[in-house]
Structure 1
Amino acid sequence: MKVLIVDDEKHVREGIKLLGAWEQNGIKEIYEAGNGEEAISIIHKYSPAIIFSDMKMPKMDGTQLLEWIKEHQPTSKTVVVTGYDDYHYMRKAIHFGSSDYLLKPIDPEILNQTLEKAVKEWKDEEAERKKKESSYQLINEIKPVYRDRKLTQILNGDMKKEGLYEEFGLHLSQNYTAALVRINGKTIKTFHGDRDLAYFTILNVINEILLEKECGIGFRYLSNKGEIVIIFWNKFEQMVDLLTRIYRTIKTAMDISCPIAVGSMVYYHSKLMDSYHQAKQVLLNSNILDETVNRVYCFELQPAIALKNLMSYSSNIELAIQAGEIGAFEELINQIAIDFIENNSLSLKQLLQLENEYLVISNRWFKNYNLSVKVAEDIERRVDLFFDQNGTFQLEEYKKRKLREIAIFLEKIKRRTLKKNSNIICDIEKYLQANFDRDVKLQEISDHFYISREYISRKFKQEFNVNISDYIVKIRMDKAKSLLKNSQLKIYEIANMIGYQDDKYFRKVFKKVEGVTPNEYRAEFIN
C-alpha cells in the first residue's frame, strides 16, 4: 500500500513520516509533495491509497487538490492536515470526501488512529470494488449468452411478454427487418477454432456500428449453426449502407468474408421469422462464383429456380466406376460442372445439394464394395474449405478434391478386387484338392465360381506357376505315392482311387512325372 504526504513545509512532512505506524498498517511506500501540482504528478504515477494533504499551499492549495482527487482519483482516501482550526476547511474536506481532519501540531496517537481508520476504509472499499469488478466481468461474460438465448426465443416466437423485449435490446416498433450473417468454417479457423471468440468478436463489430444509429441489434442465432441474425427496427433507408459497412469492417479487420442477406420488412415482431426465412433464401440463392467485393444481398421477389440433381448421373457414374480409370471421372466431372453452372452462376443452395447427393452416392458405392464408410461431416463444413478470404467459391479446387477422393476410392477397389481374386484362386485350389479323383473340367470351375474360364486359367497360372490340368496331375501323383506305401493295395486299385480308370495310363503318367514306375517306387520305399 502507498501513502502520499503533501505539505509545503518539509519539517511537517518529516514529522508525519516519523510519527506514523506505517509498517503496522501495511504501508510499504511513502511519497512526498510540496504543493498540489507536485502531488498530482505523483498521484498519476503511483496511485497512492492514502493521501495526507495540507490546505494552505502555493500554486495549488489543498481545496483545489481535494477537488481534483475526487474527480480523478476517487479511490484514494484523503486526510486533511492544517494548522487552522477552521470550520471552513473542515466543511471543504467533508465536501470532497476526506476520510478525516488533523490539526497541527500532529498528535502521534490521533495520527495513527486516523491512519488505521483510513487504511481500513480503503481496504473495505477495495474489496468491494474487486467484488463488483468480478461480478461485472461475470455479467459481461454471461450477458452475450443470455442475450443470444433470449433473442433466439424472440425470433422463434417463444417470448410472450412484450415488456421483456427492450431488456434484451429489441426496441418495439411498427416495422422490422431481419438480416442474416453467415459464419463459415474458414471464419472459425481464423480464430484458431475458437467458435465463441469468433462470434463474440464479429458481434462486437456489428453491434458497435448499430449502436451508433440505435436502429438494430445482432445476436448469435442458437437454433442454427453458423448464423448471426440482425434485427432492424429503425433507419431502414440506411440499412444496406450499414450492412455494407459491417461487411467491409469485418473484412478489413479480420480478412474474412461473412456474407449478409436481408429479408423483407414485416409489420409485427411476431412475423420476424418470415423476414429471417426470406433472408436465408436470399443467402442460399446468392452466386458463390461471383468475385464481388461486397457480399450484401437484398431480398427480391424472384421465381424459384429448379435445382439440378446429381442422382440423374447415376448410370454415368456406374460406367466410370466400371472403367476403373480416373480419366473417365475427369470427363464426367467436367460435364457435370458445365450442366450445373449457367452464366458463371452457382448458388450456395445448389452446391449444398450437390455435396449432399455426392456423399449419398459415395456411401452407396463404398457399401457396394464392402469398404468402410466414413462418418459424414457436416455438409456446409465440407464445402466451406473451398471459399477464399473474399467469399468466392473455388470451383477448380473443389473439382480437384473430388478427383482425389474418387482416385482413392478406385485404388481401394483395385486392392480389394486383387485380394478378392487371390482368395478366389485359393478357393479354386481347395476345390481341386477336394475333387482330384474325378475329371474336373474348366467349365465346371467357371460355373461354380462365376468367373470366366480365361480369367481362371490366367490367374491360376500366375499364382501357382502351373496350369490347372498339370496341377491336378500333381495332386494325383502325390496321393498315389502315399497309397503306394500301403503294400496291400493293387496298382489298378490305386489308379481307380485317384481318378484313372485305365491303370496302364496311370503307370505311364506316373513314370513320366516321377521317373520310375509305380512298382519301382513301391519297391524302393519298402526296401
Structure 2
Amino acid sequence: MKVLIVDDEKNVLDVIKILGKWEAQGITKILEASRGEEAKILIEKESPEIIFTDIKMPGMNGLELMKWLDSNSYQGKVIFITGYNDYSYMRQAIKHNSFDYLMKPIEADVFNEILKEAVIAWQRDFVETNLIEENYIYNKIVTDACTGETYDMNNLLLSLPEANRYDMTLLSFYHMHYSEPEIKSLANKLSTQRLGNAYSLQTYHNLCLVVTLENEWVTIEKWLSEHMESPVRIVASEDPQPLKNLPTVFKMLKTKLYNNQFRTVYQSTQLDQVSQIQDIVSFVDNYYMEDISLEKLSNLFFLSREHISRKFKQEKGMPMSKYVTNLRIKQAKCWLRGTDETIYSISVMLGYQDEKFFSKLFKKVTGFTPNEYRNKKDEVIG
C-alpha cells in the first residue's frame, strides 16, 4: 500500500515521515510532492491508496488537487493538512468528500489514528468494490446461460461449492417489492456457509436463480420467511442437476412459473389470511375504476384466483365483480348529479369503453338510464 504526502514545507514532510507508524498499517512505499502539479504526476504513475495534502500551497492548492482527483474518479482516501483553523477550509474539505483533516502542528497519536482509520476504510471499500464486480460477473454469466448466450461455466463454478449436482430454484418477486440488497444478502448468506449462491438475472428484473448443494433448500426457505418483507414465488427443479444443465433447467422452471406451478413463501409474520383479504379489498376500493380482474389480483398478491374469489365473497357478502360494479355505479351517480360530464366521459372514466354497455348496466342496477337519472335531479332517488 502506498501513501503520498503533498506539502510545500519540507519540514512538514520530514515530520510526517517520522511520525507515521507505516509498517504497522501495511504501508510499503511513501511518496513525496511539494506542489499540486508534481502530485498529479505521481498519482497517475503510482496510484497511491492514501493521500495527505496541505490545503494551502503555491500553484495548485490542496482543494484544487481534490477537485482534480474527483474528476478522475479517485478511489483512495484523502486527508487534508492545514494550519488554518478556518471553517471555510473545513467546509470545502467536506464538500469534496475528504476522509478527514489534520491541524498543524501535527500530533503523533492523532496522525496515526487517522492513518489507521483511512487504511481500514480503504480496505473495506476495496473488498466491497471487488464483491460488486465479482457479483456482476457471476450474475452476467448466469443471465447469459439463461438467455441462450455463450457462457463460461468454469468461471461460474468458482462461485459455488464443489459438487457434481446442484438443486436449482427460481425465485419470483412481486416487482414493487423486489430488492437488490435482499438478493445480495441471500447470496452472501449462501456463499459464506458454502451452501451455494443466488444470482440476479439482469434481463428478468424480478427473478433470481438460486443454486445450492443437494437438500439445502430448507435453509433457503427459512431465510426467505425470516427476511423477505413480501411473498416470494418459488419453483424448484425436481432432481439435482449438473451445472451444465442450467440453461435447460431455467427454461423448465420459467415455464412452470408462468403456468402458475409455483409455491409461495410468506414472511413468518405475514400469514394472517384476514389481513391479506383486507388488503385486497382495500386495493379494490382504491382502484375499482381500473381494469381489475381475479387474474391481476392473483399476480399482485401471490394468491390463487379461486382463493381470492372465495375469501372476497366471504368478506363482502358478494362476488368481487358485483362489488366493483356497485362501486362504479355509486360513483356514476355522483358524477351524473354533480357534474356536466357527458355519459360517454363518465363511462370511460369508470373503465367502460362502450357507452351503450355502461348505460344498460346502469339501468339494470338502478332502474334508470344515466340520462333519466340525471334529469331527475329534484326527486329523491337512490
Give TM class, smaller chain.
0.3 to 0.5
Q: Which has the larger radius of gyration?
A: 1
Q: TM-score, normalised by structure 2?
A: 0.43
More helix by share: 1
Q: TM-score, normalised by structure 1?
A: 0.33
Q: Which has the higher contact order (CA 8 A, sep 6+)?
A: 2
